[in-house]
């Protein structure tokens, strides 16, 4: 249920409403709006009609049911888009288009530093790089683990770029959180509910990839797992879904951008690298995604894609990335965004 507070309702009235919600066995989540506050009361769907009585409390305008199965992720609870801060001066969801870039995996100090300097010079504001890699084959490179996290932190130190890196296993949440500015949940873990719940208890932004066979509703339910634990900083990322098509690694669901926009206030990013699997296709998918209204992009860049330990064929060279960024600024300007 959504408890809509009156414009100008006092702090005490809000506190009383929260207390009453808790007394009824529900969790209150306050969303501070520009003109008024609303309180999402989430919990067991079956007995929720008891919350209707809150309508008679002082400071309450009305009580309405949340129709969608996801509650805190929905626009019903929070109509205005969320702007999520990643680091001082770096936010996603506002007027600036965020670009995260870097290698699929951290491979060496020289590789991550060279890439970090190059993507920063081209205008990226967040460095990506996997230290724990979820590979289809157990015989493929699994990542440098903590050593890789240390190299990412060193790259942040010299470039000032915040870092996004994946956590694959609930066991490693604490370790990855020690280094990462943004915790990435990969496509394969989108329904790892134990992991999502743990990440919901962190005070760090989460980049939640869409699964390759996840419907938009299922995807938003996964976001809800994180939100319902208290972490409001969830960033969505469409990265291609499985279809019958084999010309591309996956099929980029560009329509997910406007669909998600209708359903949720959470920022929406696109990963054109895993979506297409081919570096040559990445720039056009970046432009199309910006035109469709995404809030940001995460792009794989490698100094020597031919020697990459993972995902070389879909990685842009630094010069290609820089060229793409130049053109991207024009597309961003058309939709009223800056890079």
Tell me the per-residue interface mask from 133 to 152 with ligand PEP, x by CB under 6 A, - otherwise.
-x------------------
Would you count residue 209 as binding ligand PEP (CB under 6 A)? yes
Would you count residue 186 as binding ligand PEP (CB under 6 A)? yes
H or E segment at 38? strand 37-42
- CA-closest candidate to residue 100, choices 191, 196, 180, 38: 180
Min dist. Cβ of residue 212 to ligand PEP (A): 8
- CA-closest candidate to residue 190, choices 217, 164, 172: 217
- CA-closest candidate to residue 100, choices 281, 277, 271: 271
29 binds, among ligand PEP, Mn ion, none (CB under 5 to 8 A by kind): none
H or E segment at 40? strand 37-42
209 binds, among ligand PEP, Mn ion, none (CB under 5 to 8 A by kind): ligand PEP
Strand partners, 129: none
Q: Which is nearer to ligand PEP, 94 or 134 (CB)?
A: 134
Would you count residue 272 as binding ligand PEP (CB under 6 A)? no
In sign, the C-alpha dihedral spanning 86, 89, 91, 96 is: negative
78 binds, among ligand PEP, Mn ion, none (CB under 5 to 8 A by kind): none
The tokens describing 138, both together, are: 């157990």
Residue 13 vs residues 52, 178, 187, 205, 215: alpha-carbon distances, Å: 16, 39, 42, 30, 39
| Main-chain dihedrals φ then ψ at residue 319, nearest 5 degrees | -65, -35
Would you count residue 130 as binding ligand PEP (CB under 6 A)? yes
186 binds, among ligand PEP, Mn ion, none (CB under 5 to 8 A by kind): ligand PEP
Q: Which is nearer to Mn ion, 238 or 311 (CB)?
A: 311
71 binds, among Mn ion, ligand PEP, none (CB under 5 to 8 A by kind): none
Q: Which is nearer to ligand PEP, 54 or 309 (CB)?
A: 309
Stretch that binds ligand PEP, among 14-22, 51-59, 82-90, 183-191 (CB under 6 A): 183-191
Residues 100-129 that bind ligand PEP (CB under 6 A): 104
H or E segment at 86? strand 84-87
Min dist. Cβ of residue 310 to ligand PEP (A): 7
Residue 284 vs residues 273, 304, 325: alpha-carbon distances, Å: 11, 21, 11
């Amino acid at each position: 249920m959504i408890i809509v507070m009156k414009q100008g309702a006092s702090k005490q009235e809000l506190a009383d409403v929260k207390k009453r919600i808790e007394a009824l066995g529900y969790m209150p989540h306050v969303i501070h709006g520009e003109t008024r506050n609303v309180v999402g009361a989430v919990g067991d769907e079956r007995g929720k009609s008891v919350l209707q009585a809150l309508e008679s409390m002082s400071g309450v305008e009305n009580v309405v049911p949340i129709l969608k199965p996801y509650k805190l992720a929905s626009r019903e609870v929070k109509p205005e888009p969320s702007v999520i801060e990643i680091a001082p001066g770096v936010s996603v969801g506002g007027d600036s288009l965020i670009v995260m870039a870097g290698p699929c995996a951290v491979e060496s100090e020289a590789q991550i530093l060279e890439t970090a300097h190059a993507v920063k010079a081209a205008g990226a504001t967040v460095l990506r790089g996997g230290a724990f890699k979820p590979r289809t084959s157990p015989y493929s490179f699994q990542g440098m683990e903590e050593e890789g996290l240390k190299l990412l932190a060193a790259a942040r130190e010299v470039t000032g770029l915040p870092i996004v890196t994946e956590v694959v296993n609930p066991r490693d949440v604490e370790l990855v959180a020690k280094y990462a500015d943004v915790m990435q949940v990969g496509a394969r873990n989108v329904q790892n509910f134990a992991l999502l719940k743990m990440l919901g208890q962190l005070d760090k932004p989460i980049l939640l990839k869409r699964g390759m066979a996840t419907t938009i509703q299922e995807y938003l339910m996964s976001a809800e797992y994180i939100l319902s634990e208290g972490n409001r900083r969830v960033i969505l990322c469409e990265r291609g879904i499985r279809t019958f098509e084999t010309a591309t690694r996956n099929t980029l669901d560009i329509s997910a951008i406007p669909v998600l926009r209708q359903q949720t206030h959470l920022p929406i990013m696109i990963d054109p690298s895993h979506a297409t699997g081919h570096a040559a296709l990445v720039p056009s998918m970046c432009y199309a995604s910006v035109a469709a209204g995404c809030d940001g992009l995460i792009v794989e860049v490698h100094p020597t894609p031919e020697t990459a330990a993972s995902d070389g064929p879909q990685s842009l060279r630094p010069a290609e990335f820089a060229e793409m960024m130049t053109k991207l600024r024009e597309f961003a300007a058309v939709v009223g965004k800056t890079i």
